[in-house]
């Protein structure tokens, strides 16, 4: 059979399966398993998936949404013989300052901290095995991984098998003067028995994980400075990063990235408001929704200082939800009598921006996309 005919047959088969599964309201577990197996097989093929891309374009909106949910699942959960592998990530927010003649660098997490954190995660989940990668990753590096590359990397982590792909791009953290907040991630794999429940989203599990999160921060802050002019051996605190390191609870991969990037925009806004309110007696936060970029444009303006920030919205997030989050962040770091909110249209925002006496600092954010 010619390849094109074989591909067309696979497309039509998967399309019919999805239509029948959707007609059952997602309740037919047999059809669900068949769709899952077909999607997983296509995602793990090289050089790129073809069947699911074609089928998404031939389904109606609701059917395509159901298939997209299955694609998201099979892009981070892998069903093997006798085991289920779930990819997860640990978001860590960092803001490291540079001391005189001392730059702090972290290229990898401390192994013993990763071991302790993995043990705590395994205990809270009741998993068969949990393994954490000691490398440091950005959101884009993990989000851009294909299912094939992610599966290959998890095999290296869990079993030490030879690598067939390059794997995700690692990053190095370094302190700087007046540093912005950054969000980095540890990548891990949870191995369970077939049919094991995905539990990271459970509030009880999230609460149980809290006592172990300090290991995620310690894994980065026990690094050695790149250079030092001090002859005496530095203390353990001096050897660590000077600044703030906040480890958030792990979540399944895509949920962790979205949580981390949402948290990061809050860190950025809080940092701006705190800096402005140190110098200004009162500030006004002008905001407008920009449908073209699916974001809320913010202009934090005082008498002498002005900063602009783009608050990116994520899938299924409304402008009203975003404004509630913005209000919550500002109220934490600025008293109500010191900060006023003003909603403006496009022209009003442009006028207020032109009135600023100083240059406007623009902060660009991670762009969310659907698989």
pLDDT digit string, tens, across residues 325-360? 999 999 998 888 889 999 999 999 989 988 885 444
End residue of a domain, out of 58, 74, 90: 74
Judge if 290 and 205 occupy the same domain. Answer: no
Judge if 61 and 110 occupy the same domain. Answer: no
Angle at 81 between CA 77 and CA 86, to 5 degrees: 20
Read off the pLDDT of each residue in 162-180 and give the average, rounded to a whole number.
Answer: 87
Average pLDDT of the chain, as a whole number: 87
Its domain, for residue 36, covers 3-74
pLDDT tens by residue, 22-58: 999 989 999 999 999 999 999 988 667 889 999 998 9
What pLDDT shows up at residue 179? 86
Tokens of 171: 């990053």
> pLDDT-derived band of residue 81, with 50, 70 and 90 as boundaries?
confident
Q: What 3-state DSSP class applies to 265? A: helix
In sequence order, which residues have a C-beta less than 8 Å from that of residue 361 and are 6 or more positions away? 272, 307, 308
Phi and psi (nearest 5°) for 201?
-80, -10
Judge if 173 and 289 occupy the same domain. Answer: no
Tell me the torsion sign for CA atoms 46, 49, 157, 219.
positive
Judge if 21 and 142 occupy the same domain. Answer: no
Residue 218 has pLDDT above 70, yes or no: yes
Percent of residues, the chain, with pLDDT higher than 90: 65
Judge if 142 and 208 occupy the same domain. Answer: yes
Judge if 90 and 213 occupy the same domain. Answer: yes
Q: What is the dihedral of CA 1, 6, 47, 186, to 10 degrees?
A: -140
Judge if 228 and 292 occupy the same domain. Answer: no
Residue 4 has pLDDT above 90, yes or no: no
Residue 213 has pLDDT above 50, yes or no: yes
Q: What is the number of domains present in the chain?
A: 3
């Amino acid at each position: 059979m010619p390849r094109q005919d074989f591909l067309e047959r696979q497309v039509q088969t998967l399309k019919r399966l999805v239509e029948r599964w959707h007609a059952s309201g997602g309740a037919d577990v047999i059809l669900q398993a068949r769709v899952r197996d077909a999607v997983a097989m296509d995602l793990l093929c090289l050089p790129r998936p073809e069947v699911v891309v074609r089928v998404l374009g031939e389904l109606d909106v609701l059917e395509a949404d159901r298939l997209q949910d299955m694609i998201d699942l099979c892009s981070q959960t892998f069903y093997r013989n006798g085991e289920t592998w779930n990819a997860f990530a640990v978001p860590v927010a960092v803001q490291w300052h540079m001391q005189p003649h001392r730059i702090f660098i972290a290229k990898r997490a401390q192994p013993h901290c990763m071991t302790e954190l993995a043990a705590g995660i395994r205990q809270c989940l009741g998993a068969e095995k949990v393994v954490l990668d000691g490398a440091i990753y950005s959101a884009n590096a993990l989000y851009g991984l294909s299912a094939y590359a992610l599966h290959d990397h998890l095999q290296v982590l869990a079993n030490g098998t030879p690598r067939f792909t390059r794997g995700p791009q690692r990053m190095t953290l370094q302190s700087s003067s007046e540093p912005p907040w950054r969000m980095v991630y540890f990548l891990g794999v949870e191995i369970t028995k077939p049919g094991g429940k995905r539990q990271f989203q459970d509030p009880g599990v999230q609460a149980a994980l809290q006592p172990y999160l300090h290991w995620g921060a310690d894994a980065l802050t026990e690094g050695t400075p790149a250079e030092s002019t001090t002859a005496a051996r530095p203390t353990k605190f001096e050897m660590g990063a000077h600044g703030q390191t906040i480890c958030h609870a792990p979540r399944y991969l895509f949920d962790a990235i979205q949580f981390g990037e949402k948290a990061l925009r809050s860190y950025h806004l809080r940092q701006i408001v705190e800096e402005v309110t140190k110098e200004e007696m009162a500030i006004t936060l002008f905001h407008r929704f920009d449908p073209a970029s699916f974001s809320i444009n913010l202009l934090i303006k005082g008498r002498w200082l002005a900063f602009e920030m783009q608050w990116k919205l994520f899938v299924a997030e409304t402008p009203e939800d975003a404004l509630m989050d913005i209000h919550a962040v500002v109220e934490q770091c600025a008293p109500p009598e010191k900060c006023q909110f003003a909603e403006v249209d496009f022209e009003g925002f442009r006028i207020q921006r032109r009135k600023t006496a100083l240059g406007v600092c623009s902060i660009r954010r991670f762009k969310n996309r659907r698989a």
